[in-house]
Structure 1
Amino acid sequence: MLKSNRVSITLLTELYLKQEIISCIYSHIGLSSNLNNNLIGVKSTPSNKKKIYSFTYVPDYITIVVFNSIKWTEKIFPSVNGYAISIDDNLSVDDYLRQKNKKQRENINRALNRLETCFNVHYKMFQKNIEEEEYFFLMRHLKAMTIKRFEQRNQKSDSLTNWDKILSTSLALMKEGKASLFVIYDKDLPIAISFNYIYSKLLFGYISSYNIDYYKFSLGHLIIYKLFEWCLDNQYAQYDMGWGDLDYKKLWCNNIYSFNHHILYPKYSIIGFLYALKHGNKSKILAFLISKGVNKRFSRVKKKLKGNNRITQKRLSYKFKKLTPTQFEQLKGIDPLQKNLHITKQILNDFLFLTQERSSNVLLYYSQIENLYILKGKKEARAILFNQSNH
Structure 2
Amino acid sequence: MIKDNPFYSATFVEYWGKHFLSGRKKHIFPFAKNLSFYKSKLPGLFINTGKNLTKGINLELGESSREEKNNCFLIYDVIDFDSHQAKFNNNGLGHFAVRQYPGYLIDLEPYSSLDDFLSKTFKKSSRYKLRKYKKRLEECFNISFKAYQGEISKEEYDTVFIYFRKLLEKRFEEKQISNNNLDTDEWDFYKDVAYPMILENKASLFVLYKNEEPISITLSYLSDNRVFDAITVFDIDYAKFHLGSIKIMYLVDWCLKNGWKTLDFSKGHFDYKLRWSNKKFDFHYHIWFDKKSLKAQVTAYTLKLYFTFKQYLREKEINEKLHKLTFALKNKKPDNVQYSFEKTIQSYDEEKLEPVDMTMPEHTLFKRICYEFLYLYPENENNINVYRLTNRDSFYLIKGTGNESLVKVNF
TM-score (norm 1): 0.80
Q: 1:246 aligns with which of 244, 253, 270?
A: 270
Q: Which runs of 5+ in 2 are unaligned?
A: 15-25, 36-56
Q: Distance in 2 between matches of 1:108 and 1:127?
A: 27
Q: Partner of 1:48 in structure 2?
A: 67
Deviations 1:289-344 (A, max 9, x none): 43454545x469959x98x9955x725x1111122683466766735414244862
Of all paired residues, the percent bearing the same amino acid is: 26
Q: Partner of 2:384 in structure 1?
A: 362
* Contact 1:46/1:67 (<8 A) preserved: no
SS at match of 1:183: strand
How big is the shift at 1:47?
8.5
Q: Partner of 1:210 in structure 2?
A: 234
Measured at CA, do residues 244 and 309 of structure 1 come closer, stay the same or move farther in structure 2, by a change above 3 Å?
Answer: farther
Written as runs of structure 1 = structure 2, the 5 A alignment for 1:51-66 is: 51-59=71-79, 61=80, 63=82
Q: Which runs of 5+ in 1 are unaligned?
A: 1-11, 30-37
Q: Distance in 2 between matches of 1:321 and 1:158?
A: 41
Deviations 1:248-292 (A, max 9, x none): 111111111010101223452322222221222322333344345
Q: Partner of 2:145 in structure 1?
A: 123
Q: Partner of 1:348 in structure 2?
A: 370
The AA in structure 2 aligned to 1:123 is F
Q: 1:132 aligns with which of 133, 154, 166?
A: 154
Q: Partner of 2:91 in structure 1?
A: 70
User: Mean Cα displacement is larger for which, 114-123 or 45-54?
Assistant: 45-54
Q: Distance in 2 between matches of 1:328 and 1:272?
A: 82
1:319 aligns with 2:319: no
Q: Partner of 1:263 in structure 2?
A: 287
How big is the shift at 1:379?
1.4
Written as runs of structure 1 = structure 2, the 5 A alignment for 1:1-40 is: 14-16=7-9, 17-18=12-13, 21=27, 25-27=31-33
The AA in structure 2 aligned to 1:113 is K
* Contact 2:141/2:210 (<8 A) preserved: yes
Q: Distance in 2 between matches of 1:108 and 1:216?
A: 12
Measured at CA, do residues 321 and 287 of structure 1 come closer, stay the same or move farther in structure 2, by a change above 3 Å?
Answer: same
Q: Distance in 1 between matches of 2:297 and 2:92?
A: 14
Q: Distance in 2 between matches of 1:168 and 1:157?
A: 19
Measured at CA, do residues 39 and 101 of structure 1 come closer, stay the same or move farther in structure 2, by a change above 3 Å?
Answer: closer
Q: Partner of 1:85 in structure 2?
A: 106
Q: 2:211 aligns with which of 187, 200, 208?
A: 187
User: Mean Cα displacement is larger for which, 339-348 or 122-131?
Assistant: 339-348
Measured at CA, do residues 364 and 21 of structure 1 come closer, stay the same or move farther in structure 2, by a change above 3 Å?
Answer: same
User: Mean Cα displacement is larger for which, 194-203 or 360-369?
Assistant: 360-369
How big is the shift at 1:239?
0.8
How big is the shift at 1:240?
0.8
* Contact 1:85/1:252 (<8 A) preserved: yes
How big is the shift at 1:174?
1.0
RMSD of equivalent CA atoms: 3.4
Q: Partner of 2:305 in structure 1?
A: 281
Q: Distance in 2 between matches of 1:377 and 1:343?
A: 20
Q: Distance in 2 between matches of 1:301 and 1:203?
A: 30
Q: Partner of 2:405 in structure 1?
A: 382
Q: Distance in 1 between matches of 2:174 and 2:319?
A: 18
How big is the shift at 1:195?
0.3
Q: Distance in 1 between matches of 2:363 and 2:91?
A: 70
Q: Distance in 1 between matches of 2:247 and 2:222?
A: 16
Measured at CA, do residues 83 and 350 of structure 1 come closer, stay the same or move farther in structure 2, by a change above 3 Å?
Answer: same
Count of aligned pairs between the two proteins: 360
SS at match of 1:48: helix
How big is the shift at 1:110?
2.0
SS at match of 1:384: strand
SS at match of 1:196: strand
* Contact 2:8/2:34 (<8 A) preserved: no
SS at match of 2:336: helix
Measured at CA, do residues 271 and 144 of structure 1 come closer, stay the same or move farther in structure 2, by a change above 3 Å?
Answer: farther
* Contact 2:104/2:265 (<8 A) preserved: yes
* Contact 1:374/1:381 (<8 A) preserved: yes
TM-score (norm 2): 0.76
User: Mean Cα displacement is larger for which, 156-165 or 91-100?
Assistant: 91-100
Q: Distance in 2 between matches of 1:359 and 1:279?
A: 55
User: Mean Cα displacement is larger for which, 246-255 or 214-223?
Assistant: 214-223
